[in-house]
Each structure stands twice: as structure tokens, then as C-alpha cells.
Structure 1
């Protein structure tokens, strides 16, 4: 099934940390493992590898706290501008290998209190995928807010 580009997911969050701190939380695998979960009560990121360069790959594994399900995802970095922007492809391993990856853009802008982070994802296999991604990313970004607040 082809990826639909007629739907766009946009999420904006204001974080109490400077843009470089937020950028590092995205790009450092040890930091990303601390916040990359849609619900810390339900699952944990147990593995994260990041080759932080344009063309570099990233891979993550999330496991339910009961240990009965695993979720794998990954992609490739298309653009990296430290403290400003990250563009990467995104694909869940539950999607068909024939489905193209979605494209995600994270833009970081300094504010008086920290950083305005704008996340845009384009390309969904279907409406269900978009709805799942919306819920998942919002959960991750709530955890990211808590993580950068504690740093």
C-alpha cells in the first residue's frame, strides 16, 4: 500500500530547555532511550542506536513492561542542523517492506523560556497509521518534556 502524503501530522511543544539540549536528547542514543516511549507506564525503549550523520541510520526497540510485545522502528537522517533541525525517515517494522517510509521534520526555535519544538510527519499508510502515530508521538513528547525538565 503506498504512503499517503495528503495527510500531515503537526505537533508543537514548548520545552523548558535550550535548543541544543533538546537536539541532544534526540540525537544521543542514551538520552533518547530515557524519553522515547508513548507511555512509560506501558513500555520502555530498551535499545537505541544512532549514527548521527546525514545518511546515517537509527534503530529503536520498545518492549512492553510485561515483556510480551516488541516494537521496532528506524530510518535514515536526511538533514542534521545541530540545535535547529532534524529531518529523518520513519518506518515501523510492522509496516510492509513495500511501503515507503514517512518523513519527519523536527524544528527547534529558541524562546524566552526554552525551545519551541515543531514536529511534522508526512506520509501514512492509512488513517489508522496516522491516528496511531499521533497518539504515539504525543506520548513520547510528554515524556520528552519531563526528561528535559529534569536535566
Structure 2
């Protein structure tokens, strides 16, 4: 990987206090994704979520700002690799998003690793990002993962 590519990629490692199958399902089950995805202050209405977790399948949803529902952020990704309970890789062609030239292919790779004590280590890689946008994405994922922690604790 080139230095430029590494600088543009966001990498987050997080350990969740839940088995790998449950963490994986939180990303692939529409009912669960709607309960946790999006940073604090944003929600994902269940009726906007459509997930087909297979190679060539898709993940579509719309984040809605809680304070101003006219502010939305739709996502329409395609899965390029899927290994149940282990790996999700996908991409989205970005259009009309501040900080991204139209047509940018934003990729995300989610690795689900078993950890002792029934825990799961998630490794997320996403990019490419402009450095300022990468910082916002990292903050957004961290906030979303706090919501995911609460869902997994139920």
C-alpha cells in the first residue's frame, strides 16, 4: 500500500462484548442496523433499510438528522466480498457528498474476529478520504459504535 493510500484510509479496531455472529448480524439484519447505525443525532428509519448480504448484493439506507429531518444522507453500497460471520467488503460510488469528488469509489472492509470471552474484534477499513473528512468519519463511526454497544448489551 502506498503512503498516500494509507494516509487516505480510515482504520478503526474495536472490541465488542458480544459473539462474532451477533456483531455480524448487527450489520446485515435491517431491523438491527436501523437501531444503531449513524452517529448520535442521526437515525436510520427502518423503512429505508434494504440489505442483501451476498456478493453483488446491496446495502441501502438513509440517515436522517434528528433535529432537522430535511437533512438526509442516503447510502447505496454494493457487496464485493461476503463471508458469513467473518467479512463484509463493499463499495459505493459517491455523488453529491461534500469532501468527495463525484464518482469517487468509497470502499469499506469489515473483518469480524473472535476474541476470548465471547467477544468480537472488528477491524474497519474505509476510504479514500480527504484528511478532514476522514476525521469526521472516524468520529461518526465511534458514535455509531457506542449505539451498537448498547444494542448488543440488550
Q: TM-score range by the shorter chain?
A: 0.7 to 0.9
Q: Whose RCO is larger (CA < 8 A, sep 6+)?
A: 1
Tell me what 2:148 maps to: 144
TM-score (norm 1): 0.86
| Per-residue Cα deviation, 1:18-39 (whole angstroms, up to 9, x for no partner) | 1111111100111100110210
- SS of the equivalent of 1:88 reads strand
The answer to whether the 8 A contact 2:16-2:149 is kept is yes
Once residues 98 and 48 of structure 1 are traced to their aligned partners in structure 2, the CA distance between those partners, rounded to angstroms, is 23
Once residues 31 and 16 of structure 1 are traced to their aligned partners in structure 2, the CA distance between those partners, rounded to angstroms, is 16
Please list, as runs of the form range in 1=range in 2, the aligned pairs for 1:56-95 lying within 5 A after superposition: 56-66=57-67, 67-90=69-92, 93-95=95-97
Please list, as runs of the form range in 1=range in 2, the aligned pairs for 1:1-151 lying within 5 A after superposition: 5-6=5-6, 7-39=8-40, 42-46=41-45, 47-66=48-67, 67-90=69-92, 93-95=95-97, 98-113=102-117, 114-124=119-129, 126-150=130-154
Once residues 99 and 91 of structure 1 are traced to their aligned partners in structure 2, the CA distance between those partners, rounded to angstroms, is 5
Unaligned runs of 5+ in 1: none
Once residues 130 and 62 of structure 1 are traced to their aligned partners in structure 2, the CA distance between those partners, rounded to angstroms, is 18
- SS of the equivalent of 1:25 reads helix
Which structure has greater strand proportion? 1
The answer to whether the 8 A contact 1:73-1:91 is kept is no
Unaligned runs of 5+ in 2: none
TM-score (norm 2): 0.84
- SS of the equivalent of 2:150 reads helix
